[in-house]
Amino acid sequence: MKNLKMKSARAAKDLSQQQLADICEVSRQTINAIEKGDYNPTIGLCITICRALDRTLDELFWEDEK
């Protein structure tokens, strides 16, 4: 499942995938894969991304029930 919440939060902070990757000390491809839903990050990476984007785990990684 695509992570549009993360992509939106990154865009709101005016960060490129590369800039977020640099902050989180991962590759741009990792950020891209997370946003596309092709990669399930570790909890540690999720927390790092949340801190970089000033969001909570729930805001970025919790799937809304339908």
pLDDT at position 66 is 58
What mean pLDDT, rounded, does the chain reach? Answer: 94
Rounded CA gap, 23 and 58, in Å? 21
pLDDT tens digits along 35-51? 999 999 999 999 999 99
Is the predicted pLDDT of residue 52 greater than 70, yes or no? yes
Query: pLDDT per residue over 13-26, tens digit each?
Result: 999 999 999 999 99
Report all structural domains of the chain as residue ranges with CATH numbers, in order of start.
4-58 (1.10.260.40)
Closest CA to 24 of 5, 3, 6, 44: 44
Decide: 63 and 49 in contact? Cβ < 8 Å. no
pTM of the prediction?
0.90
Closest listed residue to residue 21, CA positions, set 30, 13, 12: 30
